[in-house]
Structure 1
Amino acid sequence: MLTEERRAYLELHLAVLLFGLTAILGDLIQLTALVLVWWRVLLTSGSLLPFVKPQHLLRDLGQPLLLRFMGIGVLVALHWLTFYGAIKLSNASICLICMATTSFFTAFLEPLIVKRPFRWYEMALGLLIIPGMILVVNNIEPGMIWGVIAGLTSAFLAATFATFNKKYLADVHPSRVTFVELGSAWLFLSAVLGVFLITGRDIGTWWPATSSDWFYILILAFLCTNLAYTLSLRALRHLSAFAANLTVNLEPVYGIILAWLLLNEQEDLEPGFYWGVVIILLAVFSYPVIRRRMKRYES
């Protein structure tokens, strides 16, 4: 019989696996990054309508907080645009290893935004990532460099909106915040698409052309977003922050394994790429261990 803690571990690992699957789906769906993200936020925010009361959001949140969450929603939209842009410009494995740097961007941004002290060990681990990224960049095709730049930009944006959420979330229900942020992301992307259409820019196919594209988009919206988000929240009720952070760090590992199995991406990458991956993942997994020991030392 499963205990609550074991069930929480299983739910969190499933959520992280689904988060890692988003990169694979982004590679499989035959849409441009802009159109793909537009569909994702439309379906995800629309599915939350039964659980929130949009007409009461302004009254319950207040205009300043509502506008802040809408601004964060624009950052979320830009994060997903650069995330899927990185996949289209390189591949899922490269995008995922770039996303492993998110926690270290957070180490630099959180003290500035939340006004907490800088921690020397976070800076040291952040610097350790640099040789790993150099190995990654030196062992991929030159044409994939733009994918690395887009992936690192996506990681920076993820760290930024996550830090702002931490600052402003307080006692607001997560489903309301998610609806406001994804709804504003959809409005922002709709405006961008409108400008592209008016100016005659090529956005590729607007409507998913095949049944497989529809299938993948539905999995992306409802399983990799809604279900994964719900499972992770449920799991966090029964796990320590250390255990949760260590598990979430497995996302690039799960994602790269899925890329090997489903996309055969190991055929496109040199052995030096994976040495860079090892260095980056060592830094990522070292972070919660060192942080826990430093907290004990300080106390």
Structure 2
Amino acid sequence: MKQALIRLHIAVFLAGFTGVLGKLIHLNEGLMVWYRIMITVVTLTVMTSFTKKSQTLPAAMVWRLLGVGTLIALHWVFFFGSIKIANISIGLVCFASTGFFTALLEPLLTPKQFSWREVLLGLISLLGIWLIFQFDDRYRLGILAGIVSAILAALFSVLNKRYVHIASAQTLMRYELTGGLLILTLFMPWYLQQFPTTQIWPGLSDWIWLLVLSWLCTVLAMDLMLKALRYVSAFTQNLSLNLEPVYGIALAFVLFGESKSLGWSFYAGLLLIAVSVILQMMITIRKHRKQPTAVSSIAGG
């Protein structure tokens, strides 16, 4: 159990580290996500071929997974766009609003009942984001990109729940990211025309960080979570994932000194978001004590 918890928190830390990598890689957000997905898809294809864990799915299901995969690709584009336009802390704070949008979308797209409690907690997060929105005009476009990123992440999570039990996480991830790679490849000429860049091919340091992003923060993080889920509950996993923005913001403060450029309204907004997350954790713990634990599979995002 102890090793499982260590694996889980390493995975969450690696997920939080993606924000730092978004700042270290010099490519624009569209190209960075394209390279990330390309490396990950190739890696997963090789891994499943050697381990003979590749699964064949019906054509109709494959098309659905390809479609869902476009959402995670677009989520990453807007997430890293938010970081590059504003900074790491703002991108991660906006990502923390995913829970609010999930609370709105899940009852609309699944049989789950509407929860006013979840919506109210989400509104606290949105109030925090609104406060952050006030402190510097330069960051407003980055905040808007971060909110779009959170909406796409919520939509992906809700739709992806339908498919988590039909195949292994590696198989689902490979199909979904292939869909993301196809849609980005299709629209990349238009994207580069709208957002011109002088650097299309990664430099040496960019390749190193892209490999870290793909191999460690995507493939390894997913593998660690899967291994942890053999011994811990899905409840513990989801609770731990709330620490992802915390780890990322702490790294941004230490590595880039972002705390020096953020005003009081940022910290007030961050406090509200933290209160929302803590209340959600307390409610989840209370529910967990009343219900039996269920272990579920996950798909990488």
The TM-score with structure 1 as length reference comes to 0.90
Q: Deviations over 1:98-136 (max 9, x none)?
A: 111112211111111122111221112112223211221
- The aligned amino acid for 1:142 is D
CA RMSD of aligned residues (A): 2.3
For residue 88 of structure 1, what is the aligned residue in structure 2? 84
- Choose the corresponding residue for 1:171, options 159, 166, 177: 166
For residue 49 of structure 1, what is the aligned residue in structure 2? 45
Whether the 8 Å contact between 1:26 and 1:87 is mirrored in structure 2 is: yes
How many residue pairs match? The answer is 290
For residue 154 of structure 1, what is the aligned residue in structure 2? 149
| Residue 293 of structure 1: how far off its partner (Å) | 2.5
Q: Deviations over 1:129-154 (max 9, x none)?
A: 23211221122x20210100111111
Distance 1:258 1:201 in 2: 29
For residue 15 of structure 1, what is the aligned residue in structure 2? 11
Distance 2:212 2:157 in 1: 24
Whether the 8 Å contact between 2:235 and 2:288 is mirrored in structure 1 is: no
For residue 260 of structure 1, what is the aligned residue in structure 2? 253
Whether the 8 Å contact between 1:13 and 1:247 is mirrored in structure 2 is: yes
Tell me: CA distance 1:201–1:17, structure 2 relative to 1, closer, same or farther (3 Å).
closer
Indicate yes or no: 2:141 matched with 1:137.
no
Tell me: CA distance 1:230–1:108, structure 2 relative to 1, closer, same or farther (3 Å).
same
Distance 2:89 2:148 in 1: 16
Distance 1:201 1:282 in 2: 37
Indicate yes or no: 2:193 matched with 1:216.
no
Indicate yes or no: 2:185 matched with 1:204.
no
For residue 187 of structure 1, what is the aligned residue in structure 2? 182
SS in 1 for 2:162: helix
Distance 2:127 2:188 in 1: 38
For residue 118 of structure 1, what is the aligned residue in structure 2? 114
Distance 2:194 2:149 in 1: 27
Any residues of structure 2 matched to 1:226-245 within 5 Å, and which?
226-245=219-238
Indicate yes or no: 2:243 matched with 1:250.
yes
SS in 2 for 1:127: helix
Structure 2: gaps spanning 5 or more residues: 293-301
Q: Deviations over 1:272-295 (max 9, x none)?
A: 211211110211122132134256
Whether the 8 Å contact between 1:246 and 1:285 is mirrored in structure 2 is: no
- Choose the corresponding residue for 2:63, options 54, 64, 67: 67
- More off after superposition, 199-208 vs 62-71: 199-208
- Choose the corresponding residue for 1:281, options 261, 274, 280: 274
Whether the 8 Å contact between 2:16 and 2:244 is mirrored in structure 1 is: yes
Distance 1:63 1:142 in 2: 48
Structure 1: gaps spanning 5 or more residues: none
| Residue 23 of structure 1: how far off its partner (Å) | 0.6
Tell me: CA distance 1:123–1:213, structure 2 relative to 1, closer, same or farther (3 Å).
same
Whether the 8 Å contact between 1:44 and 1:222 is mirrored in structure 2 is: yes
Distance 1:108 1:298 in 2: 23
Percent identical among aligned pairs is 40
The TM-score with structure 2 as length reference comes to 0.90
| Residue 201 of structure 1: how far off its partner (Å) | 6.0
Whether the 8 Å contact between 1:34 and 1:203 is mirrored in structure 2 is: no
- More off after superposition, 178-187 vs 86-95: 178-187
Distance 1:114 1:288 in 2: 23
Whether the 8 Å contact between 1:44 and 1:221 is mirrored in structure 2 is: yes
